[in-house]
Amino acid sequence: AAESADPCCAEPLPVLGRDVTVPLVTGGEVTYAALDYAASAPALQRVWDDVAAYAPYYGSVHRGAGYLSQLSTDLFENARRTVAEFLGCREGDQVVFTRSTTDSLNLLAAALPADCQVFVFETEHHASLLPWRDARVTYLNAPRTPGDAVRNLERALADRDPYGPALVCVTGASNVTGELWPVRELAAAAHAHGARIVLDAAQLAPHHPLDIAELDVDWVAFSGHKLYAPFGSGVLAGRADWLRAAEPYLAGGGASRTVTRRTDGGVDVEWHDTAARHEAGSPNVIGAYSIAAACKALTEAGFDALVARERQLIRTVREGLAEVPEVRVLSLFGDDAPRVGVISFVVDGWNSSHFAAALSAEYGIGVRDGLFCAHPLVRTLLGSAPDEPGECGAPEAAPGERSLNAIRVSFGAGTPDEHVERFVRAVK
């Protein structure tokens, strides 16, 4: 695909589930159109094949002297290097394997230095909004332009205690609007005020090249299952100092270098100061291996081609939705904002949950409905009161009433044109 003369014409990457058929209420069946990539993307066939090729060699990691244990340990540590390369990590950065983005951000929250101030926009996914609640956290209002985001942050940082540690947490691409955030500018603002910054790249990494050094962010967090690699794995990558100074995220084997019994009856522990410090317990070697396989597959496919193709799909969806007067697409930064293939909308006169259910039952299309684990943002975009209900997936509004939740369509490297074309036809 990377070598295709016209990257817009590149084929979708092969993914699992391409041939899955589902029954329709209207009779017959149809191939399933998975348009909920923002929640979990289908695994790339390449990733699946890589994992299957490795599976016979599966063994314990970091423990055994046996040949397969040694091999598994090598593959696990090579996976770390592959991820570091994929992210453009700097000398001395650590790559910690976690369960997910949520896990990665909670790990960083647990590793904050004492008295750390945290700055986070209210527009964040709950995974980036909530882990800091035990710290001194400032929630910033939703900006209406990328420039506002930078100015709001600068204002808040200018007022902060300039001597204590501080952390800014921001998303790279919104899981609601798909809009890209001005990460480089926010990182510059953070650093100008002596703060660190962590990038929630859950939605950015699958759609965009990502370079931690070039963006100049201190940490990046993302999830394997959104990056075409299932198996419950995630990554926190970046500066080693805070991670090394913190208590291990979990206490247990693997994180400890030596454990000794004290004469007073207690136990002393010397913890590792590598990534292993925060990876206690038997690591998810398949998860790590599959993330690395996905990083390789995406790099080989070439982000230029993937981005160009996705742009085409975004255009098809947005132009199609624009032809339906009852549809309102949700956006913070406006129509011209650069974005990834994540688009949320409401349909006048329709309850979003019923609409999403109809897309599934009548067209075999899987989208998401709800508040997308970003309740404050979706409420702002819908013009709801801050305390108005609208739990994920709950059909609160009756048809004809203002919807209290939204519909989200999302797609990526494995999406054939037919899926988005069917979606537009179905909405119409």
Backbone angles phi, psi at 218, to 5 degrees: -85, -35
Backbone angles phi, psi at 106, to 5 degrees: -65, -35
Positions in 316-375 near ligand PMP (CB under 6 A): 373
Contact present, 170 and 199 (Cβ < 8 Å): yes
**Which of 82, 94, 101, 352 lies at the binding interface for ligand PMP (CB under 6 A)?**
101
102 binds ligand PMP (CB under 6 A): yes
Give the interface size with ligand PMP as a residue count (CB under 6 A): 15
Which residue lies nearer to ligand PMP by CB, 34 or 426?
34
CB of 267 to ligand PMP, least distance (A): 33
Binding mask 371-410 for ligand PMP (x = CB under 6 A): --x-------------------------------------
Say which residues have a Cβ less than 8 Å from residue 56's Cβ, sequence separation at least 6: none
CB of 68 to ligand PMP, least distance (A): 30
Binding mask 113-152 for ligand PMP (x = CB under 6 A): ------------x-xx------------------------
Positions in 183-202 near ligand PMP (CB under 6 A): 200, 202
208 binds ligand PMP (CB under 6 A): no
Q: 366 - beta bridge partners?
A: 34
**Rounded Cα gap, residues 128 and 377, in angstroms:** 13
CB of 227 to ligand PMP, least distance (A): 10
Task: Count the neighbouring beta carbons within 10 Å of the beta carbon of residue 74.
Answer: 11
**Which of 82, 152, 171, 284 lies at the binding interface for ligand PMP (CB under 6 A)?**
171
Which residue lies nearer to ligand PMP by CB, 72 or 203?
203
DSSP-assigned letters across all residues of 374-415:
-HHHHHHHHT--TT----TT---SPTTSPPSSEEEEE--TT-
Which segment (17-25, 94-102, 132-140, 302-310) binds ligand PMP by CB under 6 A?
A: 94-102
- Report CA Rg, the chain: 22
Which residue lies nearer to ligand PMP by CB, 41 or 89?
41
**Which of 82, 175, 380, 410 lies at the binding interface for ligand PMP (CB under 6 A)?**
175
**Which of 203, 284, 380, 405 lies at the binding interface for ligand PMP (CB under 6 A)?**
203
Positions in 38-67 near ligand PMP (CB under 6 A): 38-39
Tracing tokens 């913890």 back to the chain, one arrives at: 271
Long-range contacts of residues 316-321, Cβ cutoff 8 Å, at least 24 apart: 316/417, 316/420, 316/421, 316/424, 317/341, 317/343, 317/409, 317/411, 317/420, 317/423, 317/424, 318/343, 320/420, 320/423, 320/424, 320/427, 320/428, 321/345, 321/424, 321/427
**Rounded Cα gap, residues 87 and 96, in angstroms:** 13
**Rounded Cα gap, residues 413 and 298, in angstroms:** 9
Binding mask 229-258 for ligand PMP (x = CB under 6 A): ------------------------------
Which residue lies nearer to ligand PMP by CB, 101 or 360?
101
CB of 173 to ligand PMP, least distance (A): 7
227 binds ligand PMP (CB under 6 A): no
Which residue lies nearer to ligand PMP by CB, 117 or 223?
223
Which residue lies nearer to ligand PMP by CB, 100 or 352?
100
**Rounded Cα gap, residues 53 and 318, in angstroms:** 40
Contact present, 86 and 213 (Cβ < 8 Å): no
CB of 99 to ligand PMP, least distance (A): 7
Contact present, 283 and 252 (Cβ < 8 Å): no
Say which residues have a Cβ less than 8 Å from residue 336's Cβ, sequence separation at least 6: none
**Rounded Cα gap, residues 420 and 404, in angstroms:** 25
- Residues assigned a catalytic role: 373
Q: Which residues lie near ligand PMP (CB under 6 A)?
A: 38-39, 100-102, 125, 127-128, 171, 175, 200, 202-203, 223, 373
